[in-house]
Amino acid sequence: MAVLAPPTTPAHEPAPLALPEQRIFVASQWQLMWWRFRKHRLAMVSSVIVIGFYLVVLGADFLAYADPDRSEAQRSLMPPQRVYFFDGWRFAPYVHGFKGARDPNTFKRVYVADPTQKVPVRFFAEGFEYRFLGLIPTTRHLIGVDRGRDASTTIFLLGTDLQGRDLWSRLMYGTRISLTIGLLGVTMSLVLGVVLGGLSGFYGGITDTIIQRTIEILRSIPTIPLWMGLAAALPREWTILQVYFAITIIISLLGWTELARVVRGRFLAMREEDFVVSARLVGCSQLRTIFVHMVPSFMSHIIAATTLALPAMIISETALSFLGLGLRPPAISWGVLLQQAQNVQTVAISPWLMLPAVPVIIAVMAFNFLGDGLRDAADPYGR
Amino acid sequence: MRKRTVRSRLTVALVAGVVSCVVVVGAVAQSKNAYIGKLEGPEVVTDPAKFPKTFKEAPQLAALVKAGKLPPVAERIGQDPLVLKPLKEIGKYGGTWRAGFTGPADFWNGFRCCSGPDHLMFWDYTGDKVVPNLAKGLEMQDGGKTWLLHLRRGMKWSDGKPFTADDFVFWYEDIYKNKDLVPTPSSAMAINGKQGSIEKVDTHTVRYRFPEPYFMFPDVLAGSTELAGQMWGYRALGGFAPAHYMKQFLPKYAGQAELDKKAKDAKFDSWVRLFVAQNDWARNPDLPVLSPWKTATPINTPTWTLERNPYSVFVDTAGNQLPYIDKVVLTLAENLEVLNLRAIAGEYDYASRHVDLGKLPVFIENQQKGNYKVHLDPGDYCDLIIKFNLNYDADPEIGKWFNTADFRRALSLGIDRAQINETFWLGTGTPGSVVPADHNKYNPGPQYRKLWSTLDVKKANEMLDKIGLSKKDAEGYRMRADGKGRLRIEIMTLGGQFVQYTQISEMIREQWKKIGIDLRVQEVERSLALKRTAANEQQLGAWNNDGSEHLFTFPLHVFPFEVDAVASSGPLYARWFQSGGTQGKEPEPRMKELMDKWRKAFGVPEKERIQLGKEVWKIAAEEVYIIGVVGQAPAAMGVRVVKNSMGNIPARMYNSPDGKTPGISRPATFFWKN
Helix (H) or strand (E) holding B506: helix B501-512
| pLDDT category of residue A15 using cuts at 50, 70 and 90 | low
* Pairwise CB contact (< 8 Å): A345 & B418: no
| pLDDT category of residue B22 using cuts at 50, 70 and 90 | very low
Helix (H) or strand (E) holding B591: helix B589-600
| % of chain B at pLDDT higher than 70 | 95
pLDDT(A49) > 80: yes
Q: Please state the separation of Cα A363 from the chain's center in Å.
A: 6
Q: How far apart are alpha carbons A223 and B654 in whole angstroms? A: 50
Prediction ipTM score:
0.75
Q: Can you tell me whether residue A123 is helix, strand or coil?
A: strand
**Cα-only R_g, chain A:** 26
Average pLDDT, chain A: 82
Rounded to 10 deg, the angle between the A205-220 and A167-203 helix axes is 150
* Pairwise CB contact (< 8 Å): B344 & A107: no
Of the candidates B423, B506, B522, which has its C-beta nearest A237's C-beta? B522
- How many residues in total does chain B contain? 674
Supply the pLDDT for residue A3: 47
| Residue A159 CB contacts under 8 Å (≥ 6 apart), including other chains | A77, A78, A79, A80, A81, A167, A350, A352, A353
Residues in B touching A162 (Cβ below 8 Å): 358, 423-424, 503
Number of neighbours of residue B469 by Cβ within 10 angstroms? 22
Q: Which residue has the higher pLDDT, B95 or A5?
A: B95
Q: How far apart are alpha carbons B558 and B387 in whole angstroms? A: 10
Q: How far apart are alpha carbons B482 and B270 in whole angstroms? A: 50
Q: Which residue has the higher pLDDT, A16 or A148?
A: A148
Cβ B51 vs Cβ B59: under 8 Å: no
Question: Residue B10: is it exposed, middle or buried by C-beta count within 10 angstroms (0-12/13-18/19+)?
Answer: exposed
| pLDDT category of residue A134 using cuts at 50, 70 and 90 | confident
| pLDDT category of residue B444 using cuts at 50, 70 and 90 | very high
Supply the pLDDT for residue B29: 39
Find which of A77, A163, A346 to mutate to test the B interface (most B CBs within 10 Å of its CB).
A163
**Domains along the sequence of chain B with CATH:** 1-100+300-377+637-674 (no CATH), 117-290 (3.90.76.10), 382-470+544-631 (3.10.105.10)
In terms of DSSP bridges, do strands B197-202 and B205-209 run parallel, antiparallel, or are they unpaired? antiparallel
Number of neighbours of residue A368 by Cβ within 10 angstroms? 18
For every residue of A278-346, DSSP letters joined together read HHHHTT--HHHIIIIIIGGGGHHHHHHHHHHHHHHHHHHHHHHHHTTSS--TTS--HHHHHHTT-SHHH
| pLDDT category of residue B33 using cuts at 50, 70 and 90 | low
Of the candidates B361, B423, B524, which has its C-beta nearest A236's C-beta? B524
pLDDT per position as a tens digit, B341-369:
999 999 999 999 999 999 999 999 999 99
Rounded to 10 deg, the angle between the A357-378 and A41-58 helix axes is 130
Supply the pLDDT for residue A12: 55
Cβ A162 vs Cβ A342: under 8 Å: no
pLDDT(A354) > 60: yes
pLDDT(B515) > 90: yes
Q: How far apart are alpha carbons A376 and A371 in whole angstroms? A: 9
Closest residue on chain B to A238 (Cα): B522
Find which of B36, B419, B540 to mutate to test the A interface (most A CBs within 10 Å of its CB).
B419
Q: Can you tell me whether residue A359 is helix, strand or coil?
A: helix
Residues in A touching B427 (Cβ below 8 Å): 102, 107
Cα–Cα nearest to B567, from B543, B545, B591 = B543
Supply the pLDDT for residue A320: 79
Closest residue on chain A to B502 (Cα): A329
Cα(first)–Cα(last) distance of chain B, in Å? 51
Of the candidates A102, A104, A329, which has its C-beta nearest B506's C-beta? A329
Residues in A touching B510 (Cβ below 8 Å): 69-71
Cα–Cα distance list, B561 to A144, B267, B564 (Å): 54, 34, 9
Range from A117-121, B62-66, B127-131, B645-649 carrying the lowest mean pLDDT: A117-121
Give the distance from residue A329's alpha carbon to the nearest chain B alpha carbon, in angstroms. 8
Q: For B525-653, where are the E strands, in sequence order? A: 540-543, 626-628, 630-631, 639-643, 646-647
For residues A308-331, give the mean pLDDT.
79
In terms of DSSP bridges, do strands B327-332 and B96-101 run parallel, antiparallel, or are they unpaired? parallel
Q: Can you tell me whether residue B404 is helix, strand or coil?
A: coil
Number of neighbours of residue A18 by Cβ within 10 angstroms? 8
Cα(first)–Cα(last) distance of chain A, in Å? 7
* Pairwise CB contact (< 8 Å): A76 & B361: no
* Pairwise CB contact (< 8 Å): B337 & A164: no
Residues in A touching B361 (Cβ below 8 Å): 106-108, 345, 348-349
Cβ B349 vs Cβ B113: under 8 Å: no
Number of neighbours of residue B289 by Cβ within 10 angstroms? 25
For residues B24-39, give the mean pLDDT.
62
pLDDT(A153) > 90: no
Which residues sit opposite B627 in a β-bridge? B386
Of the candidates B34, B490, B503, which has its C-beta nearest A105's C-beta? B34
Average pLDDT, chain B: 90
* Pairwise CB contact (< 8 Å): B344 & A71: no
* Pairwise CB contact (< 8 Å): A106 & B423: no
pLDDT per position as a tens digit, B125-163:
999 899 999 999 999 999 899 999 999 999 999 999 999
Cβ A151 vs Cβ A144: under 8 Å: yes
* Pairwise CB contact (< 8 Å): A76 & B423: yes
pLDDT(B422) > 70: yes
| Residue B228 CB contacts under 8 Å (≥ 6 apart), including other chains | B117, B119, B221, B238, B239
Residues in A touching B426 (Cβ below 8 Å): 102, 107
Which residues sit opposite A123 in a β-bridge? A143
Cβ B545 vs Cβ B620: under 8 Å: no
Cα–Cα nearest to A171, from A48, A341, A325 = A341
For residues B236-247, give the mean pLDDT.
95
* Pairwise CB contact (< 8 Å): B422 & A102: yes
- The pTM of the full predicted model, rounded to 2 decimals, is 0.83
* Pairwise CB contact (< 8 Å): A163 & B507: yes
Closest residue on chain B to A345 (Cα): B359
Handedness of CA B312, B316, B322, B328 (dihedral sign): negative
The dihedral region occupied by B578, where left means phi > 0, alpha psi between -120 and 50, and beta the remainder, is alpha
* Pairwise CB contact (< 8 Å): A107 & B364: yes
Give the distance from residue A236's alpha carbon to the nearest chain B alpha carbon, in angstroms. 7
Closest residue on chain B to A348 (Cα): B362
Cβ B381 vs Cβ B634: under 8 Å: no
Q: How far apart are alpha carbons B372 and B645 in whole angstroms? A: 8
